[in-house]
Amino acid sequence: MRFSVGIVSFIPCLFGLTFVGAVPTKDCAYAVKESIAEPHGWTKDSQPSPNHKIELKIALPQPNFAELERHLYEVSNPDHERYGEHLSKEEVEELVAPHPESLNMVNEWLSSFGFKDEDLARSPAKDWITLKVPVSIAEKMLDTKYHVWKHVESGDYLVRTTSYSLPTNLHAHIDLIQPTTMFGRFKSEKSSIFSAVPIPDSLVQANNAIGTIEAASGVSVDASCNQTITITCLQELYNAVGFKPSAKGNSIGITGYLEEFANFQDLQTFYADQRPDALNSTFNVISVAGGLNNQSLDEAGGEANLDTQFAFGLSHPISPTFFTTAGRPPFIPEEGGSEDTNEPYTVWLDFILSHPNPPLAISTSYGDDEQTVPFSFAQRACAGFAQLGARGVSLLFSSGDGGVGDGDSNPATQTCISNDGKNTTKFLPAFPASCPFVTAVGATTHIPEVAVSRFFSGGGFSNYFTRPAFQDKVVSAYLKALPKGTFAGLFNLNGRAYPDVAAQGDLFKVFVGGEAFLIGGTSASSPTFAGFVALLNDVRLKAGRPSLGFLNPFIYSKGFAGLNDITVGHNSGCGTLGFNATKGWDPVTGFGTPNFGKLRELVLSL
Ligand SMILES: *[C@@H]1O[C@H](CO)[C@@H](O)[C@H](O)[C@H]1NC(C)=O
Ligand SMILES: *[C@@H]1O[C@H](CO)[C@@H](O)[C@H](O)[C@H]1NC(C)=O
Ligand SMILES: *[C@@H]1O[C@H](CO)[C@@H](O)[C@H](O)[C@H]1NC(C)=O
Ligand SMILES: *[C@@H]1O[C@H](CO)[C@@H](O)[C@H](O)[C@H]1NC(C)=O
Ligand SMILES: *[C@@H]1O[C@H](CO)[C@@H](O)[C@H](O)[C@H]1NC(C)=O
């Protein structure tokens, strides 16, 4: 490895392999970089094999991120003269590039452990370094001890530590290194509480009943849509009947993780049932880090099929892509030598940021409890989402399925306990929904639409991200109207509030392994909303305008007028009824569900 050692005061420290016998200078002494309390719900299980491979990801600081953020807000604010002037990949990379001194310092440190440039993978902006190392080396590099940890409820395992150190002279040059303190349990937001059920005959008969019902927005909807949601139901309910996308250069993406495979044959069955004009069309599959898409019907994933069938069914014939990302933490320690990865969405983020043409609307139905993702990591992932927004990509995320609580547990046993060692009772916001640079989608059901109250429509207030200016007015108004002392101490009054919007999210008729199921979750609402964003991008592109990009500044300033306000329902969790849906924005359904006819006019007026 070669260095350009032109930096003043650059005194290399000697570490690792070359450390033996050398006396470290004061700067080179290790100090704790990050430390967390023993995570709630996990116990220390055993020692990992010293050869267990870890894929370390090292984040170098992005000293100009504030500048990127300024550009992002300018090009996303409909009232700014630069609205729609999205940045190129190269412009974004320049704005997140680390300082050369950080690069040099980290290179020097890695080379002292014998790593050469060819051992490292770097992101295009050089702000992330990835390298695979055995646990025994990671322990030396980070002056720590890894353990195998067991998640008590699920029996899942992770190799992690609760604290790691770095030479003090590197603290300013490294934001974070993972996997170390990350105890996330990345999960699909397909409701795990009411599992998918095959459609009963009685329902099929009920759905054959003819008739229509009036939705709140005045449109007519097939009566069957109150029991079963299909593409036609969503087109009717959201006022997009007869719209045919035709612009060139438009695209939509669905992310898939955790070995959820999207099945082509099921898609055809779905299209035959709900979108006959899309029959014989298919989607592109992009494998990220070796992700598979096994086409055996036994392997068809409920989540992947739900997401692809509805997002692509709604937006046909806009160019569809399914990203299948490998990686499945937690892992099974018995499978010696298996690799232990980070949250796979950062693997995807790395990939998509390197991609010259990411899809213009992308939906993700996976997330974590915010508190299980270390703050430093959540911040960097969120900064990655900002970069995509600056490039003109709209990112939709499920708001989570646990109401104000932990979507992973049964409401009866929901704990809602803080992970900071203090065991405080509190609401548990979801990440990435809590990142201000993504658009979080909550869930409604039935006609007239109400929030899905019994178990999901995740919503609330971030404990990590402060409230962005674009939502301050409406969120303050919501908080002001709350009875005094409501849920005092359970949530962060100053946090980024979510969701931003909502869409139907229950009773979706999905084909999985050749059979029809009814599936619900904010997993259903996010791809649905993304489908409509893709249609709106079509309207924009056809008029010679750029894509919508980062949606929130538009939604909070103008777009809300094109959404159906949901005013009934609440998001139970943590032994409470949660927040209420109300007139205007609320932390259950945001501003509400799309009215395509109105939104289409609005996006043309920008
Ligand atoms: C739809 O179903 C819900 C729940 O069963 C019910 O409350 C509502 O009245 C139904 N809507 C119509 C228009 O019948
Ligand atoms: C799909 O392909 C079949 C068989 O080639 C053909 O009969 C049918 O018309 C096609 N449908 C559409 C909508 O293209
Ligand atoms: C796909 O899944 C089937 C059924 O589980 C399995 O038998 C087959 O080996 C898998 N194929 C690949 C290429 O992994
Ligand atoms: C928090 O809960 C765990 C068990 O889940 C217990 O071991 C620990 O002692 C508790 N800590 C405090 C400060 O109460
Ligand atoms: C929700 O509405 C109910 C009924 O009006 C009310 O009793 C309750 O206090 C409200 N809860 C919140 C959190 O606003």
CB proximity list for 574: less than 8 A, separation 6 or greater? 403, 404, 405, 414, 416, 425, 426, 427, 428, 490
What is the model's pLDDT at position 178? Answer: 93
Task: Tokens 């290194």: give the residue.
Answer: 177
Ligand nearest to the Cα of 272, by number: 2
**Ligand 5 atom nearest 576 alpha carbon:** 13
Mutate to test the pocket of ligand 1, among 217, 228, 447 (most ligand atoms within 8 A of CB): 447
What is the model's pLDDT at position 185? 75
The answer to whether the CB of 381 falls within 8 A of the CB of 403 is no
**Which range is least confidently modeled, 26-35, 125-134, 518-527, 529-538?**
26-35
CB neighbours (10 Å) of residue 155? 9
pLDDT at 1: 32
448 CA → ligand 1 middle, Å: 7
Q: Ligand 2, residues 244, 265, 279: which to mutate, most atoms within 8 A of Cβ? A: 279
pLDDT at 14: 54
Q: How far apart are CA 250 and CA 537, in angstroms?
A: 7
Confidence of residue 210 (pLDDT cuts 50, 70, 90): low
Atom of ligand 3 nearest to the CA of 292: 14
How do strand 495-498 and strand 460-466 relate by DSSP bridges? antiparallel
Asked whether 109 and 167 are in contact (CB, 8 A), the reply is yes
Q: Percent of the chain having pLDDT more than 90?
A: 74
Q: Which ligand is nearest to the CA of 226?
A: 1
Distance from the CA of 276 to the center of ligand 2, in angstroms?
Answer: 9
pLDDT of 536 over the 90 cut: yes
User: Is the pLDDT at 197 greater than 90, yes or no?
Assistant: no
User: Does residue 447's CB lie within 6 angstroms of at least one atom of ligand 1?
Assistant: yes
pTM: 0.93
Pocket test for ligand 2, best of 264, 273, 280, 282 (most atoms within 8 A of CB): 280
Active site residues: 303, 307, 523
Split at pLDDT 50, 70, 90, the class of 419 is confident
Tokens for 458, please give them. Answer: 């995740």
Ligand 1: centre distance to CA 269 (Å) = 29
**What is the layout of strands, in order, in the sheet containing 197-198?**
197-198, 515-519, 508-512
Q: What is the mean pLDDT of residues 335-340?
A: 47
What mean pLDDT is reported for the chain? 89
CA of 263 to the centre of ligand 2 (A): 19
Question: Span 313-332, mean pLDDT?
Answer: 85
Q: What is the pLDDT of residue 579?
A: 96
| Ligand of minimum distance to the alpha carbon of 297 | 3
What Cα–Cα distance (Å) separates residue 333 from each residue in 341, 406, 587? 13, 26, 39
What is the pLDDT at residue 194? 42
How far is ligand 1, taken at its centre, from the CA of residue 216, in Å?
Answer: 13
Share of the chain above pLDDT 70, in %: 88
In this predicted model, what pLDDT tens digit does every residue of 485-506 receive, in sequence order? 999 999 999 999 999 999 999 9
Instruction: Show the domains of the chain with their CATH numbers.
Output: 7-62+97-183 (no CATH), 197-330+345-604 (3.40.50.200)
**Closest atom of ligand 2 to CA, residue 281:** 14
**Was 222 annotated as part of a binding site?**
no
Tokens of 198: 């095959």
Which residue puts its alpha carbon closest to atom 11 of ligand 1? 447
- Determine whether the annotation assigns residue 565 to a binding site: yes
Ligand 4 atom nearest to 41, measured from its CA: 5
For position 418, what pLDDT does the model report?
86
Q: Is 566 annotated as a binding residue?
A: yes
The average pLDDT across 66-92 equals 98
